[in-house]
Amino acid sequence: MTVSSGALGRDYADGEYIIRQGEVGDTMFVIQKGEVEVLVDRNGVTTTVACLGADEIIGEMALFDRELRSASVRAKGTVRALTVDRKNLFARISENPTLAFRLIRTLCFRVRCLDEELAQLREEDRSAVQRAEARD
């Protein structure tokens, strides 16, 4: 989703959290400059699940499913991000429906990447089980 990098947006310092897992989310962000890491905490273990840069969106899921944030997002270096609330997003989609298709395309790409990672992890798990069984 391309947004001009004019006077809009906010700067985040290296290591600053833009989104925190478990919080209520009523906004999404468009990364205008810099890079962020997406972190998921499970049972006290934090895993980096993605690194995203300019023109990428973050926090969009909470706008649509109204669930708590599923991940944290932290700045890697200086980041400039534009905040978009639900009302403004839906108004923009009403004005320009192709925006919805671009959002869906982004979400589909991410699901495909996750599908590939899941398949790879399951294959590695099967291989590890087979090696363990062969040793027994």
Q: Give percent of the chain above pLDDT 90.
A: 81
pTM above 0.85, yes or no: no
Digit-coded pLDDT (tens) for 59-108: 999 888 989 999 999 999 999 999 999 999 999 999 999 999 999 999 99
- For residue 72, the one-letter residue type is S
- For residue 27, the one-letter residue type is T
- For residue 122, the one-letter residue type is R
Distances (CA, A) of 45 to 11, 20, 71, 94, 102: 28, 15, 13, 41, 33
Token pair 């919080």: residue: 23
